[in-house]
């Protein structure tokens, strides 16, 4: 009898706690994602790539000041990256390496690094410092994208070397 009461208590307590957690997090999870973290993060990273392509195009066209909007998009998107890699979200469609979850603090730091570098680029563009923008852009691929993609993403298939001319 006593044991039954105890069990009931444990179950009751658990239900109360789950209900409380559900209410507390309910409002913030309504429109935040599709429920498919792989699709969500691939979409986010595609937009990162598109913003980065536009940054390069603007710099090439001598319009370095205009990259601020793209750099700020990169910086804000970067804040979300860790939340889009929940444990156990490695599927066949994902190019993520399992090292992400084995070295989680390094992964977080790499995302933070992108956030900071993109923030620097944004500030340089806002300050209309074209020379600084150009310098940051020159190393951005290696020092921002690369610090995460090199250790944590399966590399895209290598381009076949051009066949020798006969």
The footprint of another protein (CB under 8 A) covers 2, 5-18, 21, 25, 27-33, 37, 43-44, 46-47, 50-51, 53-54, 66, 68-70, 72-73, 76-77, 79-80, 82-83, 85-87
Q: Are 57 and 113 in contact (CB under 8 A)?
A: no
Nearer to another protein, 119 or 146 (CB): 119
**Residue 51 parent element (H or E):** helix 37-60
What minimum distance in Å lies between the beta carbon of 162 and another protein?
30
17 exposed, middle or buried (CB, 10 Å; 0-12, 13-18, 19+)?
exposed
The CA distance from 107 to 138, in Å, is 23
Output the smallest distance, CB 115 to another protein, in A: 11
CB of 56 to another protein, least distance (A): 12
Nearer to another protein, 69 or 164 (CB): 69
Phi and psi at 54, nearest 5°, equal -70, -35
CB nearer another protein, residue 33 or residue 151: 33
């Amino acid at each position: 009898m006593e044991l039954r009461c105890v069990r009931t208590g444990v179950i009751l307590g658990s239900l109360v706690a789950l209900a409380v957690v559900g209410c507390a997090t309910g409002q913030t999870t309504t429109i935040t994602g599709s429920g498919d973290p792989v699709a969500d993060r691939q979409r986010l990273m595609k937009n990162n790539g598109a913003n980065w392509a536009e940054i390069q195009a603007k710099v090439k066209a001598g319009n370095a000041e205009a990259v601020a909007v793209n750099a700020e998009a990169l910086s804000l998107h970067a804040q979300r990256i860790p939340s889009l890699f929940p444990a156990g979200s490695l599927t066949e469609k994902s190019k993520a390496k399992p090292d992400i979850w084995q070295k989680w603090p390094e992964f977080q730091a790499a995302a933070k690094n992108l956030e900071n570098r993109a923030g620097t680029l944004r500030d340089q563009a806002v300050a209309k410092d074209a020379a600084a923008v150009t310098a940051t852009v020159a190393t951005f691929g290696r020092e921002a994208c690369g610090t995460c993609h090199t250790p944590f993403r399966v590399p895209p298939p290598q381009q076949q070397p051009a066949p020798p001319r006969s």
